[in-house]
Amino acid sequence: MSSFKSLLLLITISFLTFSCAQNKQKNEGTTKIQAIEKKPISTPDEAISELTSGNNRFVLNQLVKTNYQEQIESSKKKQTPHSVILSCMDSRVPPEIIFDQGIGNIFAIRIAGNIEDENVIGSMEYAVEHAGSKLIVVMGHSHCGAVSGALKNIESGHLTQLVNQIKPAIPQVRDQAEVTEITAKNNVKLTIQDILNQSEIIKELVDSGKIKIVGAFYDVETGKVLF
Ligand SMILES: [Zn+2]
């Protein structure tokens, strides 16, 4: 074979191999997009239902098989999280995991004692007014260190003012076994009231039925969330 013919053959083989590889990639891409297609969430009740079923999957240890690389790919240009969740920084309460939500589905705002301030409320307003979230969840939890700190009148640096914000949630009768849990639940209710009192944007969206704001409580002993 002349050297010219050999070169031509080599070019042809290279081209064919390259085309096959491209088609394979294209097909794999199509399969991936179909696999991650989900039912869109367009109402507050659908968001509550998704979080409830996600938490059930978590409790039953039947999580959806999350492919993080696919979720990065599908959310890289735009995010449309259906819910914004304010929860404690407690390492045992990660919202994305306990609601089985992966990447791109919820905004998670975390701060000790799940309390609000202007920055937290600003973040929530961004979620519901600009990013299309339908639901705000304020989630307390059992065995909360910040709540215990409020009950023990902890005084330590900036922690003092943080636990002071929780103190109005302490019930009048402190001498009871469930006082920590009662305080944590009252704290969720007071936080919701504060958010509605301070944010006209959120209040109007709630009043018009476009979004909902709900309280939730996570049990660190069972993994279960009660709305
Ligand atoms: Zn906590």
Specify whether the CB–CB gap between 128 and 206 falls below 8 A.
no
Written as tens digits, the pLDDT of the chain (227 aa) is 455 555 444 444 444 444 444 444 444 433 333 333 456 899 999 999 999 999 999 999 999 988 889 989 989 999 999 999 999 999 999 999 999 999 999 999 999 999 999 999 999 999 999 999 999 999 999 999 999 999 999 999 999 999 999 999 999 988 888 999 999 999 999 999 999 999 999 999 999 999 999 999 999 999 999 99
As for how many domains the chain has, the answer is 2
Task: Identify whether residues 28 and 119 lie together within a single domain.
Answer: no
Residue with tokens 């399969």: 31
CA 114 – ligand 1 centroid, Å: 7
- Pair 28, 128 in one domain: no
Taking the mean position of all CA atoms in its chain, how far away is CA 4? 62
Identify whether residues 161 and 222 lie together within a single domain.
yes
Q: What is the pLDDT of residue 139?
A: 98
Task: Count CA within 13 A, CB hemisphere, residue 46.
Answer: 12
3-state secondary structure of 214: strand
- My answer on whether 116 and 24 are in the same domain is no
- The Cα–Cα gap between 116 and 219 comes to 21
CATH number at residue 205: 3.40.1050.10
In eight-state DSSP terms, residue 129 is I
Report the alpha-carbon distance of residue 195 to residue 221 in Å, rounded.
Answer: 29
- Claim to verify: residue 80 and residue 4 sit in the same structural domain: no
CA of 57 to the centre of ligand 1 (A): 23
Q: How far is the CA of 194 from the centre of ligand 1 (A)?
A: 19
d(CA 97, ligand 1 centre) in Å: 16
- The residues, ordered by sequence, that sit 6+ positions from 205 with a Cβ below 8 Å of its Cβ are 128, 129, 211
Residues 30 and 60 occupy one common structural domain = no
Q: Clarify whether residues 15 and 107 are in a common domain.
A: no
Q: Could you list the residue range(s) of the whole structural domain that residue 15 is in?
A: 1-35
Query: Could you give the 3-state DSSP secondary structure of residue 119?
Result: helix
37 alpha carbon – ligand 1 mean position (Å): 35
| 201 & 186 share domain | yes
Residues 1 and 95 in one domain: no
DSSP letters for 40-96: PP-SHHHHHHHHHHHHHHHHTT------HHHHHHHHSS----SEEEEE---TT--HH
pTM for this one? 0.82
29 is written with which tokens?
A: 């891409």
CA of residue 46 to ligand 1 center, whole Å: 27
Q: What is the largest CA-CA distance in the chain?
A: 99
CA of 224 to the centre of ligand 1 (A): 15
In the three-class reduction of DSSP (H, G, I as helix; E, B as strand; rest coil), residue 137 is classed as strand
114 and 216 in a single domain? The answer is yes
- Retrieve residue 92's tokens: 């045992």
Whether 75 and 28 map to the same domain: the answer is no
Verify that 29 and 52 share a domain, yes or no.
no
Q: How far is CA 164 from CA 113, 140, 149, 158, 169, in A?
A: 11, 17, 9, 10, 10
